[in-house]
Chains A and B, each alone.
Chain A
Amino acid sequence: MKMKIFLKRLFEKKTTCIFVALVLVIVLAGLLAGVLAPYNPLEQVLDDKLQMASSAHLMGTDHLGRDMFSRVLYAIRTTLGFAALCTCLAAMIGISLGILAGYIGGVLDMVIMRFCDILYAFPGLVLVMAIVGFIGVGIFNVVIGMLLTQWLWYARVSRNLTVAEKTRSYISAAKVNGASGLKIMTGHILPNIIPNMLAIFTVDFGHTILSISGYSFLGLGVQPPGAELGAMINEGRNYINSDPWLIFWPGIVVLIVVVSVNIIGDNMRDALDGTK
């Protein structure tokens, strides 16, 4: 489907506009953390620990007296940044391999798809745990582990879309007009499957945010004192009865982003569905 029509149908829905705006605000807040944050997120002021929200500390302070607002801003940057890195890399690897498998077919197709099946058989969590156990904890190792399990979704979907697209006669026409295989894959097939891939990308982005926060919550990802939404929730866990805002603020940000991104993804799928 053409991008222009796709976007027009997507933004016809009010929910899309609202949630895109929400995500944009949060992403901007993360990007501008350096400008917006009133305090250094790592600076400990033990005299001011566990303060309620006030004009000095918009979201209060945590158990080490660090400003929660500044920490949340920096955590958005970390979590969304690594989630974006992970999904983008997974999408790039997956879509390239998928188009290659679908377009060339034959043995290559079989090898790539069977490799996907093998990886698919492992639960993602187990694979990430194994990799982190092998090469050590740290957010980059978690990203590597997640990449390994995520690219195959893109590969499978893009492969099937490519096979469907390949039978259409404009691909034959492109061959007759002297387009090389690479040109057909990048110039004809890729642009035509991008809207579909975008819908998957969006939903997957939400999952990745949850996973990155989840692994950091478990202590595998971002290490203290670094600010990351999942890690912050983990640190605030002990104060859940006395000072619940320690987990409330990072929690609510994760919730808003993931729900918005999922709804945008759903709307994208609806916009792609020609029958409606």
Chain B
Amino acid sequence: MAILTVENIEKSYRIKKDKKRTKLMAVHNVSFEIKKGSCVGLVGESGCGKSTLGRIINGLEKADAGKILIDGVDIHEKSRKELSCRVQMVFQDSYDAVNPRYTASQIVEEPLKNLTKLNKTEREEKIRKHLSEVGISESEWNKYGMEFSGGQLQRVCIARALAAEPDLIVLDEPLSSLDVSVQAQILNLLHDIQKEKELTYLLVSHDLEAVYYLADVIIVMYGGQIMEKIDSMDYFNRMQHPYTRMLLASVPGYEDAGGERENNRTIYKDMGTQLEGFMGCPYCGRCRFATERCWNERPVLQEVEKGHYIACHKETSHAD
């Protein structure tokens, strides 16, 4: 049963390039589903549209075209409060994501105040419950955001997301502002909470390792499009797309997996592959397998084996 359905989402921003007005396709024709209780990892480098997609799902930004359905209902038919009770978000930089004038308990109280009809004592009970769930001890409840360490504050933010008792949490790069040692703790916390509360996650990240640990489904995005998608982690070692292989090769310990690591001295030229009017594959400017066809024809996501989808002319023409 799909809790979230993303249908043909398009989002573009108006920009100026070479003194000409044009559109940057931040998200281009993206569709996928999230099953209840699963964790979908949305992977890609910065600027590939993954965070934009997360914000669209949360209703923070409006898509130009396409639909977001939650349990089959379009999010635009839901009020802000209804949506907030179903979908919550954990932000990238925890220090930026809390009001500097709020204490930990005030931070967690905000969704309770706005989204529920609980009275003060009931709210306090909930705050107590959620903060202890994420491992914030009682002595720290009255500390302000700035007085916490990054990891502790991210815990508070997770408690805030849990307070509304949502079904789906969008985790927008929840680890990228944390120390490596703390990342593992937060990852474990997220894992435990998911199992305990049967939550559904959309984990937006550029860190393949973290995604590998938490996700059941991986979606790789590049230039606003889905490049590769696997419905089961069994396919992880068989991910084929040249971009995915490059990503894998950049993870320490996986250097041999693809062997296609980009030379870190290569200067990546912006080929304008994400601009309006470009009809080829967005990755072709960096892809060493790029052919004439890649520059002129946009590859479509195709199933190469059950539950494994790739959008690449090189890979899918084998299957043909």
State the B residues within 8 Å of A (CB): 55, 58-60, 80-81, 84, 87-89, 91-93, 96-101, 110-111, 114-115, 144, 146, 157, 160, 164
Contact = CB atoms under 8 A, between A and B. Distances in A.
A276 interface: no
A169 B89 CA distance: 11
Interface string A89-111: 00000000000000000000000
Given A2-B144, A170-B98, A188-B99, A179 B89 contact: no
A177 B100 contact: no
Contact of B115 (A168, A178, A183, A188): A178
By secondary structure, the A interface counts as: helix
Contacts of B97: 169-170, 172-173
Interface of A: 1-3, 168-170, 172-180, 183, 188, 191-192
A174 B100 contact: no
The residue among A176, A180, A183 with the most chain B CB atoms within 10 A of its own CB is A176
A2 B100 contact: yes
Nearest to A191: B101
Contacts of B59: 176
A9 to B, nearest CB: 14
Contacts of B81: 178
Nearest to A172: B60
Nearest to A187: B99
B160 A173 contact: yes
Contacts of A188: 99
Contacts of A1: 100
A170 B81 CA distance: 17
Given A2-B146, A169-B93, A177 B99 contact: no
B253 to A, nearest CB: 32
A176 B100 contact: no
A174 B110 contact: yes
B191 to A, nearest CB: 22
A2 B114 CA distance: 23
Contact of A192 (B91, B93, B99, B115): B99
Contacts of A3: 101
A54 B31 CA distance: 91
Given A2-B146, A170-B99, A178 B93 contact: no
B144 to A, nearest CB: 6
B91 A173 contact: yes
A183 B114 contact: yes
Contacts of B58: 176
Nearest to B81: A178
